[in-house]
Structure 1
Amino acid sequence: MTDRTGLTIGVLGSYGGRNLGDEAILTGLLNDLREQEPNARIVVFSRNPAHTRAAHPDVEAVPWEGVSRVDSSVILGELDLLILGGGGILYDREARRYLRVVRVAQERGLPLLTYAVGVGPLTDGVDTAMVRETLASAVEVTVRDQESRVVLEEAGLLNPITVTGDPAFLLQPADFPAHLLREEGVPAGTRLIGMSVREPGRAAERLDVDGYHRLLAQIADFLVHRVDAYVLFVPMERDDIRHSHGVMSHMTAADRGRILHGDYSPEQVLGLMRHFDLAVGMRLHFLIFAAMIGTPFLPLPYAGKVFDLANRLGVPALKGVAREVEGPLLAEVDRLWDEREARAAATARRVAEVCDQALGTSQVTRAVLDSLRTRT
């Protein structure tokens, strides 16, 4: 290693794709690294390096998709450590893409740390084998939830696996002044419901578009009339805007629906949660943000990671989105509204516990960084 004032650390994940959840993970991870290693040179492997550099001007950002092994090797050769994660990146047909970069790093003897990574579903033979073989040589493996640990164990990984928490739990909210809501078309003096939808795809293959659009429209209409509210759809990535419009097209009270269109940071969206009387949603980090602020929320799970969050926080979660079961969902929404104050204290205690668990990733990382410093 060359002499320098700090370590050179690479961070590889689903960054630069303008997904607020992934960007929240990156922000929490970078804040943690800066606190532990203020003089570090941090290189983020990004899908959109220009976006990453604009959001985090104190780091370097380089592409990794479509980059040859030779070119990747040049950058990786400058690193002291490669961090993989966090977030859900190790799943069928996607894991191999990230692990291709990791394997090049390991060929150069570069230590690997997984940072609260999300794993699964993992059934494809190629991806399963790559995950098992690549992570077997990691210096530490941390995952963000119990489901991810089980998936890794079933894949045959024998390493100790530490369950921590999503790095987004490390964020602090930024101010989201009320005038921004006025600019988004939300009138003053009204109750406000936050709603999050997502697109079908590899992470949510069971969703029937028209079916779940209609179901969420019924939930939105119910809340508009039940609590005399407006509904603000919060897109966590670009395609969510289209699906928010799809839900609104089925609402009878579409005049009470609004879609957030501004370009906001994860910390600002976290601050936005303070304005909601209730949050109902599908996106994991939308729900994490609501929980962190103390806004009553109802998860509409489409994947195990959302169920895991609900279980860890002790809140109800129904499978109605995939099964198009209207009655139980509306009943649970109604119950949540009536019991929101009674549930608040218990949920807050669970959230505090998960935030402490998220700090566990920092403790593991600190030990790895201390070990690397002694070698410089």
Structure 2
Amino acid sequence: MGQIRAVLCGYYGKGNAGDEALLASLLQMLPPEVTPVVLSGDPQATRDRYGVQATNRMSAIRVWQALRRSQVFIWGGGSLIQDATSFTSPLYYAGLMGLAQQLGLTTIAWAQGIGPLERSFVRQIARHAFRGCDAVSVRDARSAQFLVDWQVPFTLAPDPVWALDSKPVEGLWDIPAPRVAVNLRSHRHLTPERLEILTQAIAQFQKATDTFILLVPFQASQDLAIAQTIHARLPEVSSIYNLDDPRQIKGLFRGVEMAIGMRFHSLIMAAAEHCRCFALSYDPKVSQLIADLNLPGWELSDLPTDPNTIAEAWIEHYANGDRLNEISIHSLVDRSLIHRQILCKGMEKLGIL
């Protein structure tokens, strides 16, 4: 146990594998001198999965107690400061950051993905919160531009999940090969009509390639029903892998030839594990990843209406597409570890490193 207590704040314990992967990456990168206290939507699950202290993120008394007993506060990665889904979410995170700063804690904004920020008052609150941080790192150029505009010093590095350790998935190698992973999530652009088109395309792709389809929900509340719909159409040649541990989800991609993904971290995990990737973008962060990695894909809003067109593109990529090369993967993993340096920089202010 380290002598410094750090409160870790993010969208943890809410069943989202991407945010859990960020938490696992943060815990992996924390200096050994630090004892983490995780604010979680499911503290018991967080304690059981990671072996750390955790407290209810929505209990004002417990959060206050955690802050008063700690020396460091860390915004733990991902799209916390954005108002596309709700303007209350950035207010929650910025409010906790402001409280931690008022209490005199060392404050670190770690591996942030900032935006969209459509409301001017949310932009002002975010600017104030970031300017009060002792150290800031971001994971993409769009987020960096906000900080440039706000005159906030920062470090830019690839998403830390590139460097996340993976774990093997029991029984995966008993599943027929070759295997292709599919991750779709609910979204306003994934209309019932588009889901039907994609389901038909998956069926055509599977028949043409004789692959086994692994349906991989990243958040059961948004992804599982879609996976179940597709599985019902391909009951003999597909399986749903609803895993809780993000390290196992990343490990699953090690046994997969290709991934078709909507979620940002499904594509990062797959690419890091040497899968061919085909992206379906619903969000600017996914579109930026497509550009950064030169991935084939479509904006979901521009999805072709003919299942044959989609299936043919997937078949071509499966047969002839390139994986991310070893040098590129190694570079992304190495550069993602820069986020560890930001943590160390924050600890240096406390004189422990």
Query: Is TM-score (shorter-chain normalized) higher than 0.5?
Result: yes
SS in structure 1 at match of 2:108: strand
| Matching of residue 40 in structure 1 with residue 34 in structure 2 | yes
Q: 1:281 aligns with which of 261, 265, 271?
A: 261
In structure 1, what residue type is equivalent to 2:227?
Answer: S
| Change over 3 Å in CA distance of 1:264–1:66 after alignment to 2 | closer
- In the alignment, the residues of structure 1 paired with residue 5 and residue 53 of structure 2 have an alpha-carbon distance, to the nearest angstrom, of 11
Which residue does 2:166 correspond to in 1?
173
What is the rounded CA distance, in whole Å, between the counterparts of 2:314 and 2:289 in structure 1?
A: 18
Determine the structure 2 residue equivalent to 1:216.
198
Pairwise CA distance, 1:374 = 5.6
Give 4+ residue runs of structure 1 displaced > 6 Å after superposition.
none
Describe the SS at the equivalent of 1:231.
strand
The aligned residue for residue 278 of structure 2 is 298
The structural deviation recorded for 1:222 is 2.5
Secondary structure, counterpart of 2:70 in structure 1: coil
- Residues 50-81 of structure 1 show CA distances to partners (whole Å, capped at 9, x for unaligned) of 11111121x2111222525xx53332122211
Q: Give the partner amino acid of 1:282.
A: M
SS at match of 2:110: strand
Q: Note if 1:118 corresponds to 2:99.
A: no
Shift in Å, 1:248: 4.4
Task: Name the structure 2 match of 1:162.
Answer: 155
**Deviation of 1:125 (Å):** 2.4
- Structure 1 residue 49: Cα displacement: 0.9
Instruction: Give the CA deviation at 1:141.
Output: 1.4
Structure 1 residue 123 displacement after superposition: 0.8
C-alpha spacing 1:151/1:247, structure 2 compared with 1 (3 Å): farther
- Residue 44 (structure 2) aligned to one of 11, 25, 50: 50
Structure 2 counterparts to residues 264-275 of structure 1, below 5 A: 264-275=244-255
* Inter-partner Cα distance in structure 2 for 1:372 and 1:101: 20
Q: Would the aligned equivalents of 1:314 and 1:350 in 2 still touch at CA under 8 Å?
A: no
Q: 2:209 is matched with which residue?
A: 227
**Structure 2: which 5+ runs fail to align?**
none
- Report deviation, 1:16: 0.6
- Correspondence for 2:14: 17
Shift of 1:151: 4.0
Is 2:330 the partner of 1:336? no
Contact 2:194 2:305 in 1 (8 A): no
Change (3 A) 1:207 1:247: farther
User: Deviations for 1:80-120, whole angstroms, at most 9, x for unmatched residues?
Assistant: 11110211111101211111111111111222111101111
- Match in the other structure for 1:356: 334
Query: Structure 2 CA distance, aligned partners of 1:125 and 1:331?
Result: 44
For residue 185 of structure 2, the aligned residue among 173, 198, 208 is: 198
Counterpart residue number, 2:302: 323
Aligned-partner Cα distance in 2 for 1:211–1:151: 36
CA distance in 2, matches of 1:30, 1:195: 28
Q: Secondary structure at the match of 1:113?
A: strand
Answer whether contact 1:122 1:151 (CA < 8 A) is retained. no
Partner of 2:64: 73
Letter in 1 for 2:180: I
Where does residue 96 of structure 1 map in the other structure? Answer: 91
Aligned length: 346
Structure 1 residues 326 and 226, CA gap change in structure 2 (3 angstroms):
farther
Secondary structure in 2 aligned to 1:224?
Answer: helix
- Say if 1:271 and 1:74 are closer, same or farther in 2 by CA, change over 3 A: closer
* Secondary structure in 1 matching 2:3: coil
Q: Counterpart of 1:355 in structure 2: which amino acid? A: V
DSSP 3-state at the match of 2:125: helix
Q: 2 CA distance for matches of 1:214 and 1:267?
A: 31
Task: Indicate if the aligned counterparts of 2:205 and 2:312 stay in contact, CA closer than 8 A.
Answer: no
Paired amino acid for 2:280: L
CA contact (8 A) 2:202 2:311 kept: no
Decide which of 217, 220, 227 is 1:238's aligned counterpart: 220
Q: Which residue of 1 aligns with 2:26?
A: 29
TM-score, length-scaled by structure 1 = 0.85
Contact 1:313 1:350 in 2 (8 A): no
Letter of the 1:61 counterpart: A
The alpha carbon displacement at 1:167 in A equals 1.9
Q: Could you list the per-position Cα deviations for residues 285-318 of structure 1 after superposition, in whole angstroms to 9, with x for gaps in the alignment?
A: 1111111110111111111111222222222232
Unpaired runs of at least 5, structure 1: 201-205
Cα-to-partner distance string for 1:255-284 (whole Å, 9 max, x where unaligned): 4332224x4421212121122121111111
User: How far apart are the structure 2 equivalents of 1:74 and 1:265?
Assistant: 28
Please provide the CA RMSD for this pair. 2.2
User: 2: CA distance between counterparts of 1:55 and 1:27?
Assistant: 10
Amino acid at match of 2:246: P
Counterpart Cα distance in 2 of 1:22 and 1:152: 22
Kindly provide the CA deviation profile for residues 138-183 of structure 1, in whole angstroms up to 9, marking residues without a partner as x.
1111111112223444xx4211222112221121221224x3565x
CA contact (8 A) 2:231 2:240 kept: no
Name the amino acid aligned to 1:73.
W
Whole-angstrom CA distance in 2 between matches of 1:335 and 1:364 = 41
Shift of 1:358: 0.8
Q: Is the 8 A contact 1:217 1:248 kept in 2?
A: no
SS in structure 2 opposite 1:42? strand
